Amino acid sequence: MNNMGIEASGASHPSVFEQYLLAEYSHIANAHFKTIDTISTFFKHYLVIMSIPISVIALILSGQYATDELAKITVPSGPVSFLLAAIAWAGFGVLLYIINLRLDAMLYARTINGIRKYFYDRGEVDIHSKLRMRVLPQSPQMPNYFEKGYFLPVVFVFAIINTSYFCLAWYTMGIHGWRSVLVYTLTAIVFGGIHFLSYYLYAGYRKHSYLRSCIIGVDIDGVLNRHREQFCKLLERQVGKKINPDAITTIPVHECDNIGVTREDEKKVFNDPEYWITMPVADGAADNLRRLRNSFNFKVYIFTHRPWPVKAGMDAAQRKRMTTAWTEAVRSFEREVHGGFFFRTEPIEHITKLWLLKHGFKYDDIMVEQCSDDISYPRGRFRNRFYESRKKCIKFFVEDDIRKAIKLAYICDVVFLLDQPYNRCTEGVPNNVMRVNSWDEIYRKVRALS
């Protein structure tokens, strides 16, 4: 294997990446065979354990132990039936564990095949010799997770044994005669069928959903809209300060040097509901999101952090005026979009949903983050874009915040960073963060990666 790696690199020594692949190949190959050994061991132990109750029953019923003293012993049917049913369900649990072990073995085999393909494609052997020489597969799509000829018979054995115990549980409860035929038949169909259905569903999940979710996460501000232009427009109107949108090189804006925007200036802009209601839409955003949903059957999850309005530091009269202004703004916007008033959620959340509806955005779910949007580790237990991306296995994410993009890069397969003056930093950016300039470019890249 080492020789193949050296030939593939075209140099005297394999590259660092090839050395990593060779080590990975060795470790995963060992894990693959250890997993198969574990499955065999578990199956053997399962057969031994499941045979013990049958052996005990056979000894009790045999003539050798059918003495008068034994005949006087009466075992309540209830506990015996419960014990037999528990054994059946325990056997089913063991099957689920073994199924997952087998699927892990298939995952390891696919990984090995992918590494094998990498070196075969870079080998200095012509394609005819390669095809004649190669015996093992080199496709990461093989072997199939659902194995009809190899593992399905194992599931069949589990189904037979576990169902037999379940039927025996019915028998000890006194179900005999014509009723037993119906009960045993239903037990065999339902309980036995659950074994095969579980294997089918687990295999289907590994094939279609495991690390393969068709979900794209999308931020709003700076991604679906042109918030820099809107900020500068409202800043001039509210505060009287005029700045160039390209001068915003840091978010939040009050941290930008030499533009003279304070935290209080920001609050005056963001506390104005018109800032959110009249926000201009980004070019091509709605159309390309719709194309992603229709062409690739992607689910679109939208996220935004908008903890506004902020009433901290206001007296009672100012708070009341702020609440009234936002309520009236939402009512007016609702009438504009819907023609009626159905205000049921927080004002900022309702405005966000109305804005998306007005500009033709189609999505499957939306989260207006009210808690911290910077916590990415699981123990933080904050429901934000990081939590949901990890929970839903979001495949792609479109961001404009470089810090969030870096964190999401360790959760999602690819993060598209929509280019903005405030995210030009390149230090420490993983290579699965792709900088893009437009939504048309995002669509082309998703099409190439899907």
Q: Does the pLDDT at position 101 exceed 80?
A: yes
**Mean per-residue pLDDT, 317-340:** 90
Predicted confidence (pLDDT) at residue 52 exceeds the cutoff of 50: yes
Average pLDDT, whole number, for the chain? 86
> Position of tokens 């053997």?
44
> How far is Cα 216 from Cα 388, in angstroms, rounded to an integer?
11
DSSP for 257-300, please give it.
Answer: TTS---HHHHHHHHT-HHHHHTPPBPTTHHHHHHHHHHHH--EE
Higher per-residue confidence, 145 vs 342: 145
Closest-CA residue to 402 (of 257, 251, 254, 261)? 251
Q: Which of 43, 40, 39, 36 is nearest to 161 (CA)?
A: 43
CA–CA gap between residue 399 and residue 223 (Å, rounded): 6
Domain 217-449 maps to which CATH number in 3.30.390, 3.30.1360, 3.40.50, 2.30.30? 3.40.50
Residue 165 contacts residue 187 (beta carbons within 8 Å):
no
Q: Per residue in 222-276, pLDDT tens?
A: 999 999 999 999 999 999 999 999 999 999 999 998 899 999 999 999 999 999 9
pLDDT at 375: 66
Q: Is the pLDDT of residue 415 over 90?
A: yes
Give the pLDDT confidence of 270-326 residue by residue, as tens digits. Answer: 999 999 999 999 999 999 999 999 988 899 999 999 999 998 889 999 999 999 999
Asked if pLDDT for residue 158 goes beyond 80, the answer is yes
Angle of CA points 158, 163, 166, to nearest 5°? 135
Reported as a pLDDT band with limits 50, 70 and 90, residue 133 is confident
Quick one: pLDDT at residue 10?
Answer: 45
Of 220 and 177, the one with more pLDDT: 220
Which pair of structure tokens corresponds to residue 216?
A: 């794209």
Rg (CA), the chain: 32
pLDDT band at 74 (very low <50, low <70, confident <90, very high): very low
Residue 179 has, within 13 A of its CA and on its CB side, a CA count of: 6
Chain centre to alpha carbon of residue 48: 38
The DSSP result for 419-435, as a single string, is: --GGG---TT--TTEEE
Q: Kindly tell me if the per-residue pLDDT of 351 is higher than 90.
A: yes
pLDDT at residue number 208 = 80
For 225, which DSSP code? B
Of 12 and 121, more confident:
121
361-385 pLDDT tens trace: 999 999 998 666 666 655 555 778 9
Name the token pair of 437. 């300039």
Distance CA 313, CA 335 (A): 32
* Measured CA angle at 300 (ends 294, 306), to 5 deg: 145
pTM to 2 decimal places: 0.76
pLDDT for the residue 77: 62
